[in-house]
Amino acid sequence: MRRFLTVILLSALTGFSLLAQQRFYLFSEFKPGEITFKGYPRPERVLMNIDALGQRIFYYQGETLMELTNASMIDTLKVNGLKFVMKDGLLCEQMAWQNDTVYVNWKFKNVNKGSKGALGFTTQAKVEVLHSYEFTPATPFPVTDWNRYSEDGDGASVEVWQRKSDNTYFFYVDRKEYKVKRLKELYAAFPLQAPELKAYVKEKKYTMENAQEALTVIAYLKSLLK
């Protein structure tokens, strides 16, 4: 099984690629975890972390950082007291929420907000900083802007990026699975409840970019179906 894990599913990364690729880990450090593969009841125990930008799983074999290259073979993944399963090709945390079970694929994306010049002006877009925190037991990090200097290195301009939530949510209604990322997808899937749901979202000023708000909206929708 160890050979299966190392040779077939995992590939070592070079020092250059490790430095070149940006990551946003769910955990502040690599945590002890277990990976159970389909058809193999015995779990593999490793130090691991999950990159929410690239949707990749990394782990240490000794002092070598490895990447899981075929996540579709995962049955369950347990790390830091959390349980993850595969849903529609996505690694999702299985979590309890308001007496229900939901599945969340934690993902972040980088959005270019423009270039900030030496005088502080920003072209293409206004520089904004998110002061709210992304809710998740797995992600204690704030969603904030980060800056990358231009390639000429003279410091005259800075590219301003914003890291935003791009989660996918899975839930069940009458044993049917629903997969949503946007409010409009909820409205389309439940047209009879859409007017009341829209009013609720407008009143609370909720968005799907905030995980706690998204899960609350889904819970409210399900209350309308009872």
pTM here is: 0.73
Per-residue pLDDT at 156 exceeds 60 = no
pLDDT digits (tens, 9 = 90+) for 54-75: 889 999 988 899 999 888 899 9
Predicted confidence band at 181 (pLDDT cuts at 50, 70, 90)? very high
What digits encode the pLDDT tens for the residues 89-147? 999 999 988 889 999 999 887 776 665 544 444 444 433 332 223 334 343 333 333 33
What pLDDT shows up at residue 198? 97
Say what the pLDDT of residue 127 is.
35
> Residue 220, Cβ neighbours under 10 Å: how many?
17
Q: What is the pLDDT of residues 132-147, one digit of tens each?
A: 233 343 433 333 333 3
* Residue 224 predicted with pLDDT over 50: yes
Neighbour count for residue 8 (Cβ, 10 Å): 12
What's the whole-number average pLDDT of the chain? Answer: 76
For the stretch 184-204, pLDDT in tens is: 999 999 999 999 999 999 999
pLDDT of residue 61: 87
Q: Is the pLDDT of residue 171 over 70?
A: yes
Q: Specify the pLDDT at position 161.
A: 57
pLDDT digits (tens, 9 = 90+) for 4-49: 444 334 333 333 333 335 788 888 899 999 999 999 989 999 999 9
pLDDT of residue 206 exceeding 90, the answer is: yes
Side-chain-facing half-sphere of 63: CA atoms under 13 Å:
1
Q: Is the pLDDT of residue 169 over 80?
A: yes
pLDDT at residue 112, rounded to an integer: 67
> Residue 87 and residue 95: Cα distance in Å, rounded?
13
Per-residue model confidence (pLDDT) at position 160: 60
